[in-house]
Amino acid sequence: MINFRIIARVLSQVLIIEGICMLVSGAVSWIYGEPAASSFLYSALITLVTGFLVFTPLRHEEKAYGTREGYILYTGIWILFSMFGTLPYLFSSSATSFTDAFFESISGFTTTGATIFNDVESLPKGILFWRSLTQWLGGLTIITLSFYVLPVVKSLNIQISTTEFSGQTTDKIHPKIVGVTKRLATIYLTLTIAAVLFLIIGRMPFFDAVCQSLSTLSTGGFSTRNDGMAAFSSPYLMTVITLFMFFGGTNPTIFYFAYKRNARKIAGNNEF
């Protein structure tokens, strides 16, 4: 029998994560003195209150769940992220309709890269950051990051989803999914920070470097400029973006095995 209570518990925690991310984006708008800061505040309040209202009565619910609950969560997290992700676009009037806002939100979280905006340079900095952040969250580890921040699994000896981690369908890289996701999320974050630093070295403005790095590691493609990377006219920056996009498209478990100094696993990976 499907345990809908644990599903609701996890989804509420996901909303809390998203609400915190909205606050971060709101802080960006506040730093730049943009009216959109209040839009993120309202969005975060709605998202956080909804999350806590559901989570509070379920906080003592059994944390372990089975395969059926896992599949429902896998789908539910994507849908929930995208639905609430429309709020900043709507409250800031960046998108004129729910359809447009939902399209932009789901395009970000699924790293599709399609956009409704013809002139992204006219958007508030907070919205530009939010667009890139949605891709970063969805680009590699929406599910993984959820478990990394909120370890809802006690001890599941399961296979890594082939949707996110191709080439490892028969190899269990760690007996506990929480341990795996912590390491993969750390690798993902480390690569993102490295990308930011290399872009700054190439004299890309800090804000652009952060947003481009978030989009690059997710291989999503959202940019802060209408002309994308062509706006910077720098072979060095193009090379950095290409290199880190390659890293972003590489099976993350390869970096995990590199960290573990397991050359045999790397050499046997079918991506290489």
pLDDT digits (tens, 9 = 90+) for 233-251: 889 999 999 999 988 887 7
Band (pLDDT 50/70/90 cuts) for residue 177 is low
Q: What does the alpha-carbon distance between residue 13 and residue 15 come to, in Å, rounded to a whole number?
A: 5
Band (pLDDT 50/70/90 cuts) for residue 148 is very low
Helices (H), the chain: 4-31, 36-55, 67-84, 87-91, 98-109, 125-139, 142-149, 177-201, 206-217, 235-249, 252-259, 263-267
Give percent of the chain above pLDDT 70: 81
48-62, 167-181, 193-207, 256-270: range with highest mean pLDDT: 193-207
Q: What is the pLDDT of residue 233?
A: 86
**CA 261: distance to chain centroid?**
27
**CA 191: distance to chain centroid?**
14
* C-alpha distance from residue 78 to each of 170, 240, 247, 265 (Å): 25, 30, 23, 30
Q: What does the alpha-carbon distance between residue 54 and residue 56 come to, in Å, rounded to a whole number?
A: 6
Q: What is the pLDDT of residue 141?
A: 60
- Is the pTM here over 0.75, yes or no? yes
What's the rounded mean pLDDT across residues 107-113?
A: 89
**CA 271: distance to chain centroid?**
23
Q: Residue 163's closest CA among 190, 134, 182, 141? A: 141
Q: What does the alpha-carbon distance between residue 198 and residue 259 come to, in Å, rounded to a whole number?
A: 21
What's the rounded mean pLDDT across residues 16-27?
A: 95
Question: CA angle, 261 as apex, 259 and 266 as ends, to 5°?
Answer: 90
